[in-house]
Amino acid sequence: MPVTVTLVDHPLVADALARIRDRDTPNTLFRTNLERIGTLLLAEATKSLPTVEGTVETPITTASVRRLAVQPVIVPVLRAGLGFVHAAQELMPIADVGFIGIARDEDTFEPKPYVNRLPESLVGRPVIVIDPMLATGGSLVHTIALLTERHAPTPITVVCALAAPEGLQRLRDEGLDLHIVTGAIDDHLNEHAFIVPGLGDAGDRQFGAGV
C-alpha cells in the first residue's frame, strides 16, 4: 500500500504560495490565495475520478458526454481545511462534505479529535481529504483510520498546500494507501513541529489567532 506524491508545478500555484508564505499577507488575502491553490490542486487531484458516458441534447443536435460516475466525498480537516472547502464545492457542487475536527496538543504535538461528521458508509465513494498543511502526519493518520472504518476505497486522495518530509515518511511508515497532491514539499519540521519555511499556522492566518 504505497504513498504516492504528486507535486504540482504550476506558475499560479507558485504565485499563490509566495503570497501565503509572506508573513505580511493579511488574513483576507491569505484566504483568497489559499483558495486559489486549492482550486488548482483539486483539479489535479480529481483527474482520475471515474466517469460514465451518455448523451445530451444541445440546441443543435445530440452530443456524447461524460459525467462523474459517482460523486466523491470531500473531507476537510478542521479548522484549516475550511480554506479549501469553497474551491471543492465550486468544482464538485453536489459532492457530499464530511468534517473531521482535530486540534493539536501543544505539548506532545499529537492530534486531539473533537468532531467526526462522516457518512456511515463510504463504500464505492471516492474520498478526498483536504488540509492545507501536512506536518507531523498525526492528524492525517487519525483521519484515514476513521475513513478506513467506513470502508473508503483506496487509494484515498489527500490535497495539501505544503507537506513536510517527516509527515510524508510517517504516512509511509504507517503503511497507508494514499495519493498526496501538494504544491510544495518543504525542508523539515522545527522543534515545535511547524513546517520550515512553511507559512505559520494556517488556521490562525485564515481566521485569527485563538479563534
Give tens-digit pLDDT for 97-151.
Answer: 998 887 766 666 566 666 678 888 899 999 999 999 999 999 899 999 999 999 9
φ and ψ at residue 62, rounded to 5 degrees: -90, 135
Give pLDDT, residue 181.
98
Which of 19, 32, 150, 204 is an active site residue? 204
* Alpha carbon of residue 84 to chain centroid: 7
Give pLDDT, residue 104.
65
How many beta carbons lie within 10 A of that of residue 179, not counting itself? 18
Q: Is the pLDDT of residue 210 over 80?
A: no
Which of 108, 117, 173, 187 is an active site residue? 108
Q: Is the pLDDT of residue 59 over 70?
A: yes
CA 189 to CA 104: how far, in whole Å?
Answer: 15
Q: Which residues of 84-109 are buried (b: 16+ CB within 10 A; e: fewer)?
A: bbebbeeebeebeebbbbbebeeeee
Which one-letter DSSP state was computed for residue 149? H
φ and ψ at residue 83, rounded to 5 degrees: -65, -20
Joined grid coordinates for residue 4: 504516492
Based on the residue annotation, tell me whether 108 is a catalytic residue of this protein.
Answer: yes
Based on the residue annotation, tell me whether 204 is a catalytic residue of this protein.
Answer: yes
Alpha-carbon torsion, ordered 23, 40, 69, 82, to 10 deg = 10
CA 144 to CA 140: how far, in whole Å?
Answer: 6
Q: Is the pLDDT of residue 171 over 80?
A: yes
φ and ψ at residue 9, rounded to 5 degrees: -95, 95
Please name the CATH architecture into which domain 3-207 falls. Answer: 3-Layer(aba) Sandwich (3.40)
Q: Which residue is listed with cell 479549501?
A: 84
Q: With contact defined as beta carbons under 8 Å apart, do 207 and 27 qualify?
A: yes
Based on the residue annotation, tell me whether 201 is a catalytic residue of this protein.
Answer: yes
CA distances from 128 to 76, 156, 191 (A): 8, 6, 30
Pairing of strands 99-104, 73-78: parallel
- Residue 164 neighbours by CB under 8 Å, 6+ apart: 134, 135, 136, 185, 186, 188, 189, 195
Q: Is the pLDDT of residue 209 over 80?
A: no
- Which range among 12-16, 158-162, 207-211 shows the weakest confidence by mean pLDDT? 207-211
Burial class (CB in 10 A: 0-12, 13-18, 19+), 149: exposed
Q: Where are the domains of the chain?
A: 3-207
Which of 19, 104, 150, 172 is an active site residue? 104
